[in-house]
Amino acid sequence: MTLHKAGYSLLIKILLFLIVVNTVLFFAVDSPVVLYTAVAVSGILFLGAVNFFRFPKRRVTLDNNAILAPADGRIVVIEETGENEYLHDRRMQVSIFMNILNVHINWFPVNGVIRYFRHHKGKHLKAYLPKSSTDNERTTIVIECRNGQSVLMRQIAGAVAKRIVSYAPVGGEARQDRHAGFIKFGSRVDLLLPLDTELKVALGEKTTGSQTVIGYLKPVSGR
């Protein structure tokens, strides 16, 4: 199994912690049942953490008009909303909730140039709640697509997630086969799309990052 680089340091810390705990128990407890149970639980916890940081190899077909899912998960919101941070217009919001069992790598949903990036400090409400889009710790990434449209992507930390990792430098290139970042332990990604986007997904549908087509952009006139 290949692991994502975002998990290396945390996995080492978890492993060292579990070794210390089991060493203390070995010298402090006489019961073999307790010791075997502790080792078994520690092994399960560590393997669970390793599984969380798995890095699947996926073949991505680049399409300048397609919007690909930025994350594995389930669609929990499809609605029109206002965007007041950068674009200042009406948008179609599509939100994907990732539970702790999902791959938590985030991919760029479109090809283009990164025009805006900002990290916002905030709360750690449950990521499926509507207020998490504006109240939780989050990042905002705006990509100017090659067909002239703009797409806004938010990485949102959840109740358990405490760190968002982003690879979105302003002026850098966004590609659908490249990682936009990683959110540790339960989270959500919002896409704010042009209102004329041709959506291909429905509420409650499962998504696979970099594979599921969320919809298609209509080119700006003259592009």
Residues 132-164: tens digit of each pLDDT: 666 778 899 999 999 899 999 999 987 665 578
- Using the predicted structure, report yes or no on whether residue 89 has a pLDDT greater than 70: yes
Q: What is the mean pLDDT of residues 28-57?
A: 85
Distances in Å between the alpha carbon of 74 and those of 78, 206, 208? 11, 4, 9
Q: What is the mean pLDDT of the chain?
A: 88
Q: In the chain, pLDDT over 90 holds for what percent of residues?
A: 56
Structure tokens at 93: 């919001």
- Using the predicted structure, report yes or no on whether residue 7 has a pLDDT greater than 90: no
Which residue(s) pair with 139 in the sheet? 119, 155
Q: Higher confidence at residue 93 or residue 135?
A: 93
Active-site amino acid positions: 187
Angle, nearest 10°, between helix axes 32-52 and 8-28? 180
**Reported confidence tier of residue 191, pLDDT bands at 50, 70, 90:** very high
- What per-residue confidence (pLDDT) applies to 135? 72
Which residue(s) pair with 209 in the sheet? none
Overall fold of domain 66-216: Glucose Permease (Domain IIA) (2.70.70)
Q: What is the mean pLDDT of residues 54-83?
A: 94
For 13-40, b/e burial (b = at least 16 CB within 10 A) is ebeeebeeeeeebeeeeeeeeeeeebee
